[in-house]
Amino acid sequence: MKPKLTKLPNGIPFVEVPMPGAASVTLFVYCRVGSRYETKEINGASHFIEHLMFKGTKRRPSAEIISRELDRYGAAFNAMTGKDYTCYFVKIDAKRGKDAADILHDMLFHSLFDPKEIDRERGVIVEEINMYEDNPHMHIEDLLERVLFPNSTLSWCIAGPREVIRNVSAEQLVAYRDAYYVPSRIVVAAAGAIRPDLRKKIRESFGRVRAQKPSRDAAFKSFAPAPLKERIAIQEKKTEQTQVGIAFHGFHMAHADEPVAKILATILGGSMSSRLFVNVRERKGLCYAISASHQSLEDTGIFAIYAGLDRRRIPLAIKTIMKELKGVAANGVTPEELRRAKDYLRGKLALALEDTSARADWFGREYLFQGKFESPAQRIAALEAVTAHDVKRVAKAIFRDDRMASAVIGPKASKRTLEQIFRMR
CATH of the domain at 174: 3.30.830.10
Q: What's the number of domains the chain is made of?
A: 2
217 pLDDT higher than 80: no
Confidence of residue 43 (pLDDT cuts 50, 70, 90): very high
Closest CA to 338 of 283, 397, 385: 385
Residues 31, 225 contacting (CB under 8 angstroms): no
96 pLDDT higher than 80: yes
205 pLDDT higher than 70: yes
Q: Which among 149, 175, 208 is the end of a domain?
A: 208
Q: Which of 16, 38, 50, 366 is catalytic?
A: 50
Average pLDDT for 315-330:
96
Count of CB atoms situated within 10 Å of the CB of 254:
13
Instruction: Classify residue 264: in a domain, yes or no.
Output: yes
Arithmetic mean of pLDDT over the chain: 95
Clarify whether residues 242 and 127 are in a common domain: no
Clarify whether residues 190 and 238 are in a common domain: no
Closest CA to 88 of 28, 25, 15, 44: 28
Clarify whether residues 318 and 179 are in a common domain: no
Clarify whether residues 201 and 250 are in a common domain: no
Instruction: Classify residue 219: in a domain, yes or no.
Output: no
Clarify whether residues 9 and 158 are in a common domain: yes
Instruction: Classify residue 303: in a domain, yes or no.
Output: yes
Closest CA to 142 of 240, 280, 243: 243
Confidence of residue 311 (pLDDT cuts 50, 70, 90): confident
Query: Which pLDDT belongs to residue 361?
Result: 97
Instruction: Classify residue 380: in a domain, yes or no.
Output: yes
Is residue 64 among the annotated active site residues?
Answer: no
141 pLDDT higher than 90: yes
419 pLDDT higher than 90: no
Clarify whether residues 17 and 113 are in a common domain: yes
214 pLDDT higher than 70: no
Q: Which among 151, 176, 208 is the end of a domain?
A: 208
Owning domain of residue 282: 232-421
The CA distance from 272 to 260, in Å, is 20
Q: What is the pLDDT of residues 222-270, one digit of tens each?
A: 898 889 989 999 999 999 999 999 999 999 999 999 999 999 999 999 9
Clarify whether residues 73 and 200 are in a common domain: yes
Clarify whether residues 166 and 261 are in a common domain: no
Instruction: Classify residue 216: in a domain, yes or no.
Output: no
Clarify whether residues 244 and 153 are in a common domain: no
Instruction: Classify residue 286: in a domain, yes or no.
Output: yes
Burial (Cβ within 10 Å: 0-12, 13-18, ≥19) of residue 40: exposed
Clarify whether residues 128 and 244 are in a common domain: no
Clarify whether residues 47 and 94 are in a common domain: yes
Instruction: Classify residue 224: in a domain, yes or no.
Output: no
Query: Which pLDDT belongs to residue 424?
Result: 75
Instruction: Classify residue 59: in a domain, yes or no.
Output: yes
Give the count of alpha carbons within 13 A of 410, CB side only: 21
Closest CA to 49 of 235, 204, 144, 181: 181
Residues 371, 7 contacting (CB under 8 angstroms): no
Clarify whether residues 191 and 243 are in a common domain: no
